[in-house]
Structure 1
Amino acid sequence: MTGLLGWLDRPDERRGIRFAEPDGSWRLWSYAELATLVRRYAAALRDAGVGAGDVVSIVETTGPRFVGLLFGSMVAGAAASPVAPPPPFGDRERWAGHLRGVLRASAPRLVVHDPALSLVAEVCAGEGVPAYDGEGLLTGAVADRRTPEPAGLALVQFTSGSSGLVRGVRVHHQALAATVAGIQRWLRMTPDDPTASWLPVHHDMGLVGCLLAPVATGSDLWLMSPGDFVRRPVRYLECFGLRGARLTAMPAFGLDHIVRRVPRAALAGMDFSGWRAVIVGAERIRPALLTEFARFTAPHGLRRAALLPAYGLAEATLSVTGVPLDTGWRTVTVEQGAVVGCGRPLADARVTVVDDDGRAVADGTVGEIVVRGPAVAAGYLPADADGTASGTRLADGELRTGDAGFLDDGELFVLGRLGDGVKVRGRMLLAEDVEATATAACGAPAGRITALLGQVGDAPRVVLLLVRPEPGWLPAARAAAEAVAEGVPVTALVVPPGVVARTSSGKPRRRLMWQDHLAGRLAATVPTAVPVAP
Structure 2
Amino acid sequence: MIRKHAAQHPDRPALTHLRAPGRRPEVLTYGDLDRRARGIAARLARETVAGPGERILLAHPPGPGFAAAFAGCLYAGMVPVPAPLPGEVRRDTVRLAALIEDADIRLALTDRSAQPELAMWLSTSGFGHIGCLAADTPGFDEAHAWTPPPAAAPEDPAFLLYTSGATGRPRGVLVSHGNAAAGQRSLQQLLGTDSRSVLGGWLPPYHDLGLAGFLLHTLWLGASAVSLDHTEFVRDPLRWLQMIDTYGVTVSAAPGFAYDLCVRAVGEEELAGLDLSRWTSALVGGEPLSAATLAAFTRHFAPAGLRPEALLPCYGLAEATWLVAGARPGTGPVLRAVDAVALEQGTLRPAPEDAGAYESGVRTLVGSGIAAGAEVRVVDPQSRTVLPEGSVGEIWVRGAGVADGYWGRPAESHAVFGATTADGETGFVRTGDMGAVTADGELFVLGRMKDVMTLSGRRVHPEDVERTAAEVSPLAGPGVAFAVEERLVLVQEVLHAPADAAALIQELQAHMARALGVEAANVLLVQPGTVQRTTSGKARRTLMRQLFLDGRIGARSIRHHVLEPKIAALMPERRRRTLERSRMPVF
Pairwise same-fold verdict (TM > 0.5): yes
2:479 corresponding residue in structure 1: 450
Is it true that 1:286 corresponds to 2:290 in the alignment?
A: yes
8 Å contact from structure 1 (residues 15, 218) kept in 2: no
1:506 corresponding residue in structure 2: 537
**CA 1:178–1:5 in structure 2 vs 1: closer, same or farther (change >3 Å)?**
farther
Q: Which moved more, 1:272-281 or 1:161-170?
A: 161-170
2:65 corresponding residue in structure 1: 65
**CA 1:426–1:454 in structure 2 vs 1: closer, same or farther (change >3 Å)?**
closer
Q: Which moved more, 1:23-32 or 1:220-229?
A: 23-32
8 Å contact from structure 1 (residues 438, 476) kept in 2: no
Instruction: Select 1:154's aligned residue among 141, 158, 183.
Output: 158
SS for the counterpart of 2:61 is: coil
Q: Displacement, 1:369?
A: 0.9
1:327-352 deviations in whole A, cap 9, x for unaligned? 12111122161010100111x20111
SS for the counterpart of 1:33 is: helix
Instruction: Select 2:374's aligned residue among 349, 374, 384.
Output: 349
**CA 1:237–1:291 in structure 2 vs 1: closer, same or farther (change >3 Å)?**
same
Mapped partners of 1:190, 1:33: distance in 2 = 21
Mapped partners of 1:462, 1:427: distance in 2 = 15
Mapped partners of 2:41, 2:79: distance in 1 = 12
Mapped partners of 1:60, 1:35: distance in 2 = 18
2:74 corresponding residue in structure 1: 74
Mapped partners of 1:117, 1:526: distance in 2 = 35
1:372 corresponding residue in structure 2: 398
Mapped partners of 1:487, 1:387: distance in 2 = 37
Is it true that 1:301 corresponds to 2:305 in the alignment?
A: yes
1:469-507 deviations in whole A, cap 9, x for unaligned? 545532222333456675666311122223211101011
Q: What is the 5 A alignment of 1:476-515?
A: 476-482=507-513, 490-515=521-546
8 Å contact from structure 2 (residues 84, 96) kept in 1: no
Is it true that 1:112 corresponds to 2:114 in the alignment?
A: no
SS for the counterpart of 2:561 is: coil
With normalisation by structure 1, the TM-score equals 0.90
8 Å contact from structure 2 (residues 198, 224) kept in 1: yes
SS for the counterpart of 1:209 is: helix
8 Å contact from structure 1 (residues 491, 532) kept in 2: yes
8 Å contact from structure 1 (residues 468, 494) kept in 2: no
Structure 1 gaps, min length 5: none
Q: What is the 5 A alignment of 1:106-255?
A: 106-115=103-112, 116=114, 118-125=116-123, 126-135=126-135, 138-139=138-139, 141-143=141-143, 144=146, 146=148, 148-151=150-153, 152-255=156-259
1:39-63 deviations in whole A, cap 9, x for unaligned? 1111111111333221111111211
Letter of the 1:521 counterpart: R
8 Å contact from structure 1 (residues 349, 371) kept in 2: yes
8 Å contact from structure 2 (residues 84, 206) kept in 1: yes
Q: Displacement, 1:146?
A: 2.2
1:14 corresponding residue in structure 2: 12
Q: Which moved more, 1:226-235 or 1:335-344?
A: 226-235
2:327 corresponding residue in structure 1: 323
8 Å contact from structure 1 (residues 464, 490) kept in 2: no
Q: Which moved more, 1:110-119 or 1:43-52?
A: 110-119
**CA 1:312–1:4 in structure 2 vs 1: closer, same or farther (change >3 Å)?**
farther
**CA 1:181–1:383 in structure 2 vs 1: closer, same or farther (change >3 Å)?**
same
Q: Displacement, 1:269?
A: 5.0
Instruction: Select 1:402's aligned residue among 432, 455, 464.
Output: 432
2:423 corresponding residue in structure 1: none
1:384 corresponding residue in structure 2: 410
Letter of the 1:174 counterpart: G
Cα RMSD, aligned residues only: 2.4
Q: Displacement, 1:525?
A: 5.8
Letter of the 1:209 counterpart: G
2:444 corresponding residue in structure 1: 413
**CA 1:153–1:138 in structure 2 vs 1: closer, same or farther (change >3 Å)?**
farther
Mapped partners of 2:278, 2:161: distance in 1 = 33
Q: Displacement, 1:312?
A: 0.7
8 Å contact from structure 1 (residues 442, 476) kept in 2: no
**CA 1:270–1:108 in structure 2 vs 1: closer, same or farther (change >3 Å)?**
same
8 Å contact from structure 2 (residues 475, 495) kept in 1: no
Letter of the 2:73 counterpart: S
Mapped partners of 1:124, 1:60: distance in 2 = 14
Q: Which moved more, 1:212-221 or 1:393-402?
A: 393-402
Letter of the 1:55 counterpart: R
Q: Displacement, 1:206?
A: 0.8
8 Å contact from structure 2 (residues 251, 280) kept in 1: yes
**CA 1:192–1:141 in structure 2 vs 1: closer, same or farther (change >3 Å)?**
closer
SS for the counterpart of 1:290 is: helix
1:206-241 deviations in whole A, cap 9, x for unaligned? 111111101221111111111222233333223332
With normalisation by structure 2, the TM-score equals 0.83
Mapped partners of 2:535, 2:196: distance in 1 = 30
8 Å contact from structure 1 (residues 279, 310) kept in 2: yes
Structure 2 gaps, min length 5: 344-362, 420-426, 565-587
Q: Displacement, 1:249?
A: 0.4
**CA 1:480–1:6 in structure 2 vs 1: closer, same or farther (change >3 Å)?**
farther
**CA 1:149–1:444 in structure 2 vs 1: closer, same or farther (change >3 Å)?**
farther
What is the aligned-residue identity percentage?
32
1:98 corresponding residue in structure 2: 95
Larger radius of gyration: 2
2:563 corresponding residue in structure 1: 533
Q: Displacement, 1:184?
A: 1.1
